[in-house]
Structure 1
Amino acid sequence: MKAAPLAEFYHDVTACTGAELSALLPDGIQQDVGHFNVFELGLPGQCLREKPTVPYACRSFYKISLLRGRNRIDYPDSSLDLAQNALIFSTPKVPHYWLPYNAGQTGLFCVFTPEFLRPANSGVVLDELPLFKAEGYPAFQLSDEQEARATAIFRRMQEEMASDYIYKYDLLRTYVLELMHLGQKLQPTTALHPAYSAAARLTSLFIELLEQQFPLETPQQRLRLRTATDYADHLAVHVNHLNKVLKETTGRTTTDLVATRIAQEAKALLRQTTWTLAEIADALGFADVAHFSNFFKRQLGVAPGAFRLQALV
C-alpha cells in the first residue's frame, strides 16, 4: 500500500499558505530522532486541511488532531459525525477523509513518524496500542474540560518546538504520550483490555493484513492478496484453520470478509474517482467488467454503473 510521504504533506502546506519550506521544518528533522511537528488550524491566511481531491488519504505518518467545530470523518466503510471538540488519532494503516462542516475551523494537530516514538526512545510499540489498531476508528468527542486539557498539551508542544532546549524532543515525546493516554482513557474498558487468545491474535493479524491491501490509489495498483488461500499462505496457516478461527471470532468466513472489504473499496472508487469500470475491475483482481459487475450486484444489490450514478445525485 502506497502512503503519501511527509514531503507531500509539507508541499501541500507551503502551496496553501505561501510559507517557505525552511520556515516550517523543525530543527533536527534530518537527525536520528524521527520527525515531529505541530500546527494550528484557523490562523490568518492558513488553510491546512486534508485535500478533498485525495479521498481516504493514507499517510506515511501518524497524526493527532484536536478539532473545534462540526466535522465528519469518512472511512472506507463508515462515517463518524463529530460535534464541537473532537480528538482524532490517525494511523497510516487506516485511510480517512476529513470533511469540516463549518467555515473557519479552529484546532491544533501534530504529525510524527513511527521512528519518533520507536520503543528505544519511548518504550511504546504504536501498533500494539488500542488507539492505533487497524480495525479501530479512534475519534472522540470531548467535554469542555477535556478539550481544555488537550489544548494545554498542544500549547506546550508549540512552546517547546520554538525553544532551543537541547532535550526538547524527549519532552515532546512525553506530550505525545500524554495525548495518547488521554485518548485511551476515552475508550471503552473492553477495548483497553481485550481477551488476547491465539484465535484473537490470528484474527487481528488477518484484519491488519486485509487492511494493508487498501486503498488503491492508481489504476495501475493491484491487490496482492485476493483469495482465502492467499491470506492463509501469507499468515503461514492452513486455509481451513484460518476459516475456522475467523468463523469463531467474527461469525464470517475468510472469503466473506475479503469480499466485503473488496466491495467497500469498490464503492469508494466508484464514488470518489473517475476510473472506468474496467480500470476498477482490473485493480480489484477481476478477470473483466462482467465478473466485477456480477460480484458488485451480489454484494450490494445494484450494478456498479447504477451505484456510481446514484452517488452523483
Structure 2
Amino acid sequence: MDKIVRLNTFYKSLSADAPADEAEIRHFNIIRVEDTLLHRNVTVKYSRRSFFKVSIIRGRSNIHYADQFFEITDYALVFTNPLIPFHWEIIGQEQEGLVCIFTEDFFNQFGNIAGYPVFQRPDAAIVPLNAEHYARFKQLFEKAYTELAGNYAYKYDLLRGLLLEIVHEAQKLQPALGTPTAASNASERIASLFMELLDRQFPIEMSNQTIKLKTPTDFSIQLNVHVNHLNKALKEVTGYTTSQLIQERILKEARVLLKSTQWTINEIAWSLGFEEANHFSAFFKSRSKVTPKHFRLNSID
C-alpha cells in the first residue's frame, strides 16, 4: 500500500520548496505545467495524495481517470480528486498550462469544494476546451497566479473566488464522455474500483487524519453509480455487501491502531469516521467480542 503523497513530497519531486507562508492543512499554490515537466522524465501513475488539483493543459495527452479514458488532442481542464485513481500520460512534446494545488481545508468554512460534480464524477472531471474557452480559462488561472504573488490582505479570499469561478464555468460546459477501460465485465470493474478507493484510505498514519468515505452512498457517489447497483456488483463478485466490506476494512485498521499506536480510543474512533467513541466501541465489540480497551490491554489477535 502506497503511503500518502503529501505536499512536501510533491514539491520535492519538482526540486522546489513549498511556499514558506503556507501550512500543509490550508495550502494553495499555482505551478506552471512547463515547470513540473522539467523534473519528470517519465509519467507517474496516481498514488494517494492529500491534495486536490485543477489543471488547464495544452498538448496531446491521455487521461486515465477511475475506469475511464480520455484522449486530449489540444486543450482541456482536469479536476483531480485525491481519492480517485488518476494518471496523466503525456503524448506530445509540447505541453503548457497551469496547475492549481490546494487542500480541502483551504475551503474550510467557505463551502464544500469536494461536493461539486467536477470532483465527484469521472465524466465531469475532464473538460475538453476549444481555443476560445482555453483562452478564457487560462486568463483566470493567470490572474490567480499573479494574485498569489501579490500582497493584497484578502488575496486568499480572492483566490477562492477565482477557483470557484473556474469550477462553475467548467460545469456549464458539456462534460466529456469517457470510454470505460477493458474489464471482464462491468461488475468486476466496479468491484475493482471500489476496493481501490477503500484501500487508498488506509493505513491511517496520523491521529488528525480521518477517512472520507464511510458509507455505501459515499462510495457510490465517487464511482458515479447507484448505491443499489454498487451493492449488487460487489455481492456478485465478492459475496459480500458494500457495508460488510467497509466494516471489515475499518475493523482491520482498528485492530492495527489499537496494537501499534498510543492514540486514545477517542482519537482512533475519530480517525475511523465515528463521531462518538461509544459508537466505535459498540461496533468493535459486536465484531470482536471484546471492547477496544480489552483488546489493547490483552494483545488479542
TM-score relative to the length of structure 1: 0.56
The alignment yields a C-alpha RMSD, in angstroms, of 3.6
Partner of 1:65: 55
Residues 87-130 of structure 1: CA deviation (Å, up to 9, x unaligned): 00001111211111111311111100001112x1x2x2123211
Contact map agreement 1:93 1:211 (CA 8 A) in 2: no
Give distance in 1, aligned partners of 2:33 and 2:122: 28
Of 96, 99, 111, the residue aligned with 1:106 is 96
1:256 aligns with 2:248: no
Q: Which runs of 5+ in 1 are unaligned?
A: 189-205, 222-233, 238-244, 260-313
Name the SS for the 1:28 alignment partner.
coil
58 and 235 in structure 1: CA distance in 2 versus 1, 3 angstrom threshold: closer
Alignment partner of 1:179 is 2:172: no
Change (3 A) 1:249 1:68: same
- CA distance in 1 between partners of 2:168 and 2:95 (Å): 25
* Equivalence for 1:28: 21
Q: Counterpart of 1:28 in structure 2: which amino acid? A: D
One-letter amino acid of the counterpart of residue 92, structure 2: N
**Which of 121, 126, 130 is 2:113 aligned to?**
126
Q: Which residue of 1 aligns with 2:198?
A: 213
**1:248–1:170 Cα change, 3 Å:** closer
Structure 2 alignment gaps of length 5 or more: 176-190, 204-213, 218-224, 240-301
- Aligned mates of 2:227, 2:165 — CA distance in 1: 38
Deviation at 1:211, TM superposition (A): 5.0
- Structure 2 residue aligned with 1:148: 135
Shift of 1:61: 0.3
Give deviations 1:170-207, integer Å, cap 9, x for gaps. Answer: 1111111111112211256xxxxxxxxxxxxxxxxx99
Give 3-state SS (helix, strand or coil) of 1:175's partner. helix
- CA–CA distance in structure 1, aligned partners of residues 147 and 136 of structure 2: 17
* Matching residue's letter, 1:175: L
Contact 1:50–1:98 at 8 Å: present in 2 too?
no
Distance 1:99 1:258, change over 3 A: farther
1:97 matches 2:87: yes
Q: What TM-score, normalized by structure 2, do the two folds share?
A: 0.58
Structure 1 residue corresponding to 2:31, chosen from 39, 52, 59: 39
Could you list the per-position Cα deviations for residues 47-105 of structure 1 after superposition, in whole angstroms to 9, with x for gaps in the alignment? Answer: 266963x4222321000011101110123533211121100000111121111111131
Partner of 1:301: none
1:293 maps to what in 2? none
Equivalent positions of 1:49-60 (< 5 A) are 52=43, 54-60=44-50
Identity %, equivalent residues: 31
In 1, are the aligned partners of 2:61 and 2:90 still within 8 Å (CA)? yes
Structure 2: which amino acid aligns with 1:152?
Q
Aligned pair count reads 206
